[in-house]
Structure 1
Amino acid sequence: MAVSVTYQQLESGADEKLPVVSFSQGKVSGVNNGVDWNQTSFKVFKRRSGSENDKRRNWRIVAARGHVLDYVGYNYGDQASKADATSKYMVGVLDRSTGKMKAYDAQLFNLKPWVKREAKRPAAAINGNTPLSTREKSDRLIETFGSNKQKRAMHSRLKNKISEDSIHKAATTAAENAKELPVELDEPDLASFQLLPPSNKETLIPSEIYRLEHIVSETLLEDLEEKGKALVDASAEEIEKWKKEESHPHFVLEKLPLSPGKSLLSIKERAAVLAYMTVLMQLFITRKRTAQGIPVLTEVPHSIKEHISETLFQETSTASGRSQRYLTKLSKSRIMIHLLLLALHVDGFETMLDPLQKDTGVSQTIMHRYVRSLGGKTKKIQDKEKGGSTPGAYSKYQMQLTAPLTIVTRNTGKPAKHKRR
């Protein structure tokens, strides 16, 4: 039977799409043990938005109530399916009597189990004694897992309350625990740590090659609105003061005051991206290995700290079998790649590399390698203020990202022989 297909839009509007769900843990099956599993109810929740320019008007939540578990899926934020960025989904409804099929736009939702959070329980007594206070619990954690500096501070505070024997016993326990700590980390798993974010090499739009939401989501940018507002509202005197004190990165200061440019982002979004880049730059130049003790991570919202720890820190196994996230060389390479991509989104996919080199301390050769790995191109620009095109003039380099994407791979064969003149 020949089938003719026609494209149809939903009556609710052109922006509406049919939800297509997939379960990350479980599936809908038939009747089992007297229970009809097909009686799963689905509901779609839509965000209320009165403005047509609000990007959040297309946010949807799909909830499914089953016999055992409830499931929830989102089309925005970190929990949204990444498949919609590279694929287009449609649902076809076939009328067998006429042989005609109607095709509708669809959107994929990955449903995950939703578990209710239990209420906080009161502190339980240990061995029938009085429940421990917050300070006592903190002291026990420091005694077992704390650093030497934390343990010294704790012992100094408790030296007038406990005996000398107790201090000696605690010091012995700390020394034994220190012996069990790993001296060296295992070799990192390169295959499980992807440096480049998802990309669309066939698109003809530069902003769609490396989408901003694959680097930092809209939800995280909303959490940085307060820090971004300080950049937007900065006066000329404050900007000049920041330049003298060098309290902000050179790349950020050169963008102030913010004004409409080639970027597709609004001023509010650009300010939030610049605030996120400030955090990444300070993280790049730090010498700390773990998230504990890095000052910049203590000043950002918890959602930003969690996102950075999960996406940029590398999870490795120590010699004792424990799994922990560390800021490795691969982590800093990924941070540099994210900085370059964010700079492209801020400047309309043509950005100067010199400010980033000053802020990160990366050499020109290595910076150009990062640009080539992303499929970008570097362009040499003469500085007119320092000599123009005259011999010995100061030159700057500009990074460009054009569509479609072309990544040049290095030749791994023997180097070419140069002829002598």
Structure 2
Amino acid sequence: MASRATWAYRGDPDQGQEALLVQFSNGNIQSPDSLDFTLYRNKDHKTPKTKKQRILAAETDRLSYVGNNFSSDASKCNTLCRYFVGILNKESGTMEVYDAEHFKMQPILGSSTNSEVQNEDGTDQPSKSYREKMDSLIEAFGTNKQKRALSSRKLNQVGSEILSKAMEKAAEEIIESRGTTELVKDAVGNKEQDSSLFLPPCDFSAEKPEDVYKFDDLLFPAEYAALEVASAAFRNITSEELQQMVENKKYGLFVLQELHDMPKDEKDRDHKARCLWYLDALIKLSQQKVVKRKEILSPECPNIICGKLMKNFTVVIYKNGSILNSISGTTKSKIVAHVIALALHITDFQVDLTFLQRDMKLKESRILEIARAMGLKINKKMMFMGASIDEGHKIGVLTIPLTVYKPPVGGIKRKKM
């Protein structure tokens, strides 16, 4: 029967008597006797977190190795467990037990240890990244296809940097001109507005049709006052001038129809002339793709109206190295919605959508979709254009409460041929 063995605890880590378990990341050491180990301990023994930090260095004839027990490269041992190494003395039958500390040794290479390399002229340069090294290889030994791809990627990178700098400069100019306080107010105001991207401000609980889309929300008092001079041609129009406008086709069908029915009262006539002039400006704006301020700022157009059109109904785009104002799909829908809302105030809340559709060169389904989103009731009315010509026009009527349209269940059915 074998004799019983006893064990004795010898490894007090505070006294530096722990055993070191070493693992080399790049393979096994063929000649362990040729290794020269050096252990470094943290001098700060008062801090519990740092007093157990160790760095182990190993030297061979070919390479140098280093490992530690506190960085991200350290061995992933369970910190809640303690590890021990036992050495059995067969003669005495005693097992001497030591605390074990595990180190994962990494080789130290010249290109990875030095964060900086010296150039031929002696100046220090940062070491190249993997991407930069690959680009250098492609430039030296790559195929024509790889070189073209590399050149295209560098051009795209330069273009994105130029765009980023332009956006940063534009943002700095806006902040300097308006201040952060005004920008915060605008952000808070945008959150409080309706979630729609193109509909004008709407009061769904209004008790009167004129309070649903308020006139002051469509045309601010200062803007309305600035239209006094610009709308003089509409206010003082004669039958001969109206006939000339019809022949020149400079204005749309809706504007010409309403100019034909101008009221006799001077105050009402002035109000309608201002509204028609602004509505005509919106219709002409909807027919453009790229908008230039100098084209809108005609001699009769007030500066405040020009700024409103550029700010509220255009988007800024970056094209061919320049910043442009464009009419997108969303902004065009916004223009159509504001035109319908303003036309409702002009026509006693019954607007001929067919005339507006033709003036803005829209599909009938598109303007009807926007009118339904605004809560209008769609009626059909026969219009007699001549002795024997009549056609059906779609009329949008604003009623209280607003009409709520629901999408059809099951989708749109296709007609059979």
Higher relative contact order (CA 8 A, sep 6+): 1
Question: Radius of gyration: which is bigger?
Answer: 2
